[in-house]
Chain A
């Protein structure tokens, strides 16, 4: 009974986190874009427009969810839920604070790359079931993109796994107690971090890699035919995905909830420990989210062939050589 109650509480917390993150991230995106374009952004609903996304969600909830004629009805309605479930599963191994983790599985990072590869299935489903050429093209592009960028994301995760010698997320964080990998690992970790950020930006279908929904050529890509709450679920899944990949980046390269420690400066480390671990975790994650939003409003969209060239001809060879470099660093003990 106690176990069951635990499940219920964990589930409710996950759903609550989803709702809050969705509201916060959409507002943040709009505010960041407004700041970059010297506009005000949403400023009518609530104080400084803080309730704008709530109002938008209410609008989406009350809209009619259409299913186009000729669509595969069951798969069309299933796809948004597959997207949501895929994202929800990813929350399990993420430690939000010290000792605050749902499932400390011993293959944590492998689990994450396994489950995040499912996002492509929901997108392909949505694109195919809509029976619309724009949807299908967008889904195909997105599939090609996610499958290819998964490789370099995986290789940059492996870089940290090689340094730590463990796949478990709690071990990876524990190994950064005397300094985060981004500081301890020299240049190879920097290369891994940059490839990781590029790869996850592409994997979450965000600009400059948002070819799956390039509105100038494909209307809205795979979710062209979706409306109302079904569209909102895709939208929410996309934003939660951004949060999750940034959390993974923060865990791998910036030590997750681990406070900023420098070697054996006792006093300094003690002061840093006073800041709660959840503040560290969310601070790092939101910093990375800001970086990814910054990309979106800075770079122009790539063409599909440029996108695939970037991965297969540049990022993949670089990250392969980088894994060898990291192995060398790990064997010779060059890191701090």
Chain B
């Protein structure tokens, strides 16, 4: 039952990921990216990681992608205003990306497949994630919280209007 669902989801995620790069309008790219995130959330659900599924949708599809859409819609990008790179730059970009893809493929090919029965252990459930986060990864968790606070202070500082000089 789950195998055909997995294949359909996997095909959809690959297709959406490709369309992000291929789509001509930036807004379409962002929408394909949202669809791609949804299919990945579907994979999480199939691994019985329901907490990750919800958080993935809230953070990526709900918040970050909406900001992307905002920026792109406000900038009003279109084909005419898009900067055209020279031929050398394009060739260089394609070849480096292709090389990176080759390296990744080689790394994945030699990896040992690990088959884990996620349905029994409850790995992805809230309790498990919370225990891991607050026991083993306490320090990184706190430090990243501090990082977010810094980012927030920075955003407020940048966003505030300069005080009028008397």
Contact = CB atoms under 8 A, between A and B. Distances in A.
A140 B66 CA distance: 10
A: contact size bracket: 20 to 34
Interface stretch (B6-14, B55-63, B92-100, B101-109): B55-63
Given A75-B31, A128-B27, A105 B58 contact: no
A324 interface: no
Given A118-B62, A147-B66, A107 B73 contact: no
B62 A143 contact: no
Contact of A118 (B61, B67, B70, B125): B61
12 contacts: A72-B25, A111-B50, A113-B58, A117-B61, A117-B66, A118-B57, A121-B61, A124-B70, A124-B73, A140-B74, A147-B67, A150-B62
A167 B31 contact: no
A106 B66 contact: no
Interface of B: 25, 27-28, 31, 34, 50-51, 53-55, 57-58, 61-63, 65-67, 69-70, 73-74, 125-126
Contacts of B51: 107, 110
Contacts of A139: 73
Contacts of A113: 54, 58
Contact of B69 (A106, A107, A121): A121
Contacts of B62: 114, 117-118, 120, 150
Interface of A: 72, 75, 105-107, 110-111, 113-115, 117-118, 120-121, 124-125, 127-128, 136, 139-140, 143, 147, 150, 167
Contact residues of B: prevailing secondary structure? helix
A118 B28 CA distance: 17
A114 B58 contact: yes
Contact residues of A: prevailing secondary structure? helix
Contacts of A105: 50
B26 to A, nearest CB: 11
A320 to B, nearest CB: 13
A114 B57 contact: yes
A111 B44 CA distance: 13
Contact of B63 (A125, A128, A147): A147
Contact of A128 (B50, B54, B61, B73): B73
A143 B31 contact: no
Nearest to A127: B73
A110 B31 contact: no
Contacts of B66: 117, 120-121, 124, 143, 147
Contact of B57 (A115, A147, A150): A115
Nearest to B25: A72
Nearest to B38: A118
Contact of A110 (B27, B28, B54): B54
Contacts of B65: 121
A335 B51 CA distance: 28
B63 A117 contact: yes
Contacts of A114: 53-55, 57-58, 62
Contacts of B54: 107, 110-111, 113-114
B102 to A, nearest CB: 35
Contacts of A115: 57
Given A118-B57, A140-B73, 7 more contacts: A75-B31, A107-B51, A113-B58, A120-B66, A124-B73, A128-B27, A150-B62
B61 A143 contact: no
B50 A106 contact: yes
Nearest to A119: B62
Contacts of A118: 57, 61-62
A117 B125 CA distance: 22
Contacts of A121: 34, 61, 65-66, 69
A140 B76 CA distance: 13
B83 to A, nearest CB: 22
B52 to A, nearest CB: 10
Contacts of A106: 50, 125-126
Contacts of A136: 73
